[in-house]
Structures are given as structure tokens and as C-alpha cells.
Amino acid sequence: MENLSEKKWNEGLKASSNSEIIDVRTPDEFNDGYIEGARLLNIQDSSKFMEEVEKLDKDKDYYVYCRSGRRSEMACQLMEKAGIDNAYNLEGGILDWTGNVKKIV
């Protein structure tokens, strides 16, 4: 698990051909705006979150974010315990994100 700046997070994401973006916020937060291509895995629904993490491809690179970076850091640690070696936390979360944010209309 690594905490990465937005620049490093983005560079890693673009350089990897086997990556996925994971948003660990709540569905309401996700609906307010998300990073394009993100998949929602709500960490606050802990049993369902771990159930979904267990199904993830252990060989992929996961770029994880939340609102401020705290929940996503915890999510990366949980993912690591589940056998995922490549989980990268976005420092500062979507609050510090300067890229595009998609909204569900």
C-alpha cells in the first residue's frame, strides 16, 4: 500500500495496463461526483466491502480514493490483508483532486 500525490497516482494509473479505480465513499457521495472510470465499493458497508474485495483480481493495480484520503488509506490496508499487493491511495482524496469529476445526472 502506498500513499501517492495526485500527480504520482495519475502517472501510475496511466502507466498501468491492468488497473482499476476504486471509490470507497458512500453512494450519496459518489453520486455528487466521482473520478471517471471509478467503481464504487462503499467501505462503510464493511461486510459487503470485504466480500467485494475478496472477488477482486489480485494481480491488478488498484487506485483507491475517498473524500479526504483517510477511508481510502484504510481500504488499501484491508485490500493488502486480502492479498492485493498493488493498492495505491490518493492523498487528499477527491477534495484535493484537480482533474475532472463526473456527476450522475
Sheet strand arrangement including 19-23:
2-4, 87-90, 61-65, 19-23, 38-40
- Using one digit for the tens of pLDDT, what is the confidence trace for 13-39? 999 999 999 999 999 999 999 999 999
H or E segment to which residue 30 belongs = helix 27-32
- Using one digit for the tens of pLDDT, what is the confidence trace for 53-87? 999 999 999 999 999 999 999 999 999 999 999 99
Predicted model pTM: 0.95
Domains assigned to the chain: 2-98 (3.40.250.10)
